[in-house]
């Protein structure tokens, strides 16, 4: 089955979707990105993703050549056209278009495209028995925006696989920040704790905070989180639009809490699954 995408105003076959090699998204890595889930034909939390996307575009002075309504419509159309009736991964990419003078671009001629791809769920066992993180000393350059700069993340994939880890946790200056493509939560004495600054505000993270708050069961702390707290946490989990809520039972060479997926993690995994209708 041929796959389709959306490139600069048109839905076209993915095999024909190409851009010029002078694009500043390539030459200078100048672009913003977003990753969304389309679930049973509907984009999950479209407005939140869109707001993040436009905030990144503004930060980079990029012109978004499409309305949110049209974007949502195209995503849902591509999900059908590509045969993903259950769930798919969506990527929005916006660059400055053709490079001028080696380092500039024409604001009025951006490159914008949408990919709707097969969703590959993590193994069931990861959700049941938990996963491992490895830590790496790094802080992203533009942490609050989702730029296309994932050089550090991509370069660590071999190490991640070697170490049988699901994600790489960036720590910097004694602080826990975020994973390469996920956010992190700690549970301690029934409190839900997550880093507040120097991170990308994930949409799954946002929904988890909303659910935890609405349940009235958990105290929530969004704050600076120290690396030391990893070793004393009762539970840890990560969140991402393509992975949902994933329990973490090992970090580097130590076990988290009692090494089992904890009750609060399980509770929030269930609550999240209900929201996405995947539960």
Interface ranges with a copy of itself (CB under 8 A): 5, 7, 14, 17-31, 33, 35, 59-61, 89, 91, 93, 95-96, 101-105, 113, 115, 117, 120, 138, 140-142, 147-155, 157-158, 180-181, 242
Nearest CA-CA partner of 206 in 175, 183, 179: 183
Measure the CA–CA gap between 18 and 16, rounded to whole angstroms: 6
Smallest distance from the beta carbon of 28 to a copy of itself, in angstroms?
4
Question: In terms of CB distance, is 80 or 154 closer to a copy of itself?
Answer: 154
Smallest distance from the beta carbon of 216 to a copy of itself, in angstroms?
36
Question: In terms of CB distance, is 7 or 187 closer to a copy of itself?
Answer: 7
Question: In terms of CB distance, is 80 or 100 closer to a copy of itself?
Answer: 100
CA 194 to chain CA mean position, Å:
16
Alpha-carbon torsion, ordered 258, 259, 262, 268, to 10 deg: 150
User: E strand or H helix at 2, and its extent?
Assistant: none
Question: In terms of CB distance, is 71 or 265 closer to a copy of itself?
Answer: 71
Smallest distance from the beta carbon of 200 to a copy of itself, in angstroms?
14
- Give the other-Cβ count within 10 Å of 259's Cβ: 11
Q: Mention every residue, 6+ apart, whose C-beta is less than 8 A from residue 266.
A: 247
Question: In terms of CB distance, is 84 or 242 closer to a copy of itself?
Answer: 242
Smallest distance from the beta carbon of 278 to a copy of itself, in angstroms?
19
Smallest distance from the beta carbon of 215 to a copy of itself, in angstroms?
32
Question: In terms of CB distance, is 115 or 261 closer to a copy of itself?
Answer: 115
User: E strand or H helix at 77, and its extent?
Assistant: helix 68-81
**What DSSP line would sit under 84-142, residue for residue?**
-SSEEEEEEEEE--BEETTTEE-TTS-EEEEEEEE--PPPHHHHHH-EEEEEEE---SS
Measure the CA–CA gap between 227 and 233, rounded to whole angstroms: 11
Smallest distance from the beta carbon of 48 to a copy of itself, in angstroms?
20
């Amino acid at each position: 089955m041929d796959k389709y995408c959306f490139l600069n105003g048109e839905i076209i076959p993915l095999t024909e979707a190409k851009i010029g090699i002078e694009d500043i998204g390539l030459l200078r890595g100048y672009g913003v990105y977003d990753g969304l889930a389309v679930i049973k034909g509907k984009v999950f939390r479209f407005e939140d993703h869109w707001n993040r996307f436009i905030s990144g575009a503004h930060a980079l002075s990029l012109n978004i050549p499409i309305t949110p309504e049209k974007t949502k419509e195209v995503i849902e159309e591509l999900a059908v056209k590509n045969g993903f009736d259950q769930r798919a991964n969506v990527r929005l990419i916006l660059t400055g278009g053709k490079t001028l003078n080696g380092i500039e671009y024409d604001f009025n001629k951006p490159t914008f495209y949408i990919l709707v791809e097969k969703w590959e769920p993590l193994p069931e066992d990861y959700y049941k028995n938990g996963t491992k993180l490895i830590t790496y000393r790094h802080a992203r350059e533009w942490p609050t925006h989702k730029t296309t700069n994932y050089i550090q993340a991509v370069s660590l994939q071999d190490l991640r696989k070697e170490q049988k880890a699901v994600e790489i946790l960036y720590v910097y200056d004694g602080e826990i920040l975020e994973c390469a493509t996920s956010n992190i939560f700690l549970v301690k004495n029934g409190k839900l704790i997550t880093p507040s600054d120097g991170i990308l505000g994930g949409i799954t993270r946002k929904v988890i905070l909303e659910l935890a708050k609405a349940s009235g069961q958990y105290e929530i702390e969004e704050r600076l989180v120290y690396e030391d707290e990893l070793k004393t946490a009762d539970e840890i989990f990560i969140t991402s639009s393509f992975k949902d809520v994933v329990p973490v039972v090992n970090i580097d060479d130590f076990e988290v809490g009692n090494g089992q997926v904890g009750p609060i993690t399980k509770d929030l995994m269930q609550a999240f699954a209900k929201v996405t209708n995947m539960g």
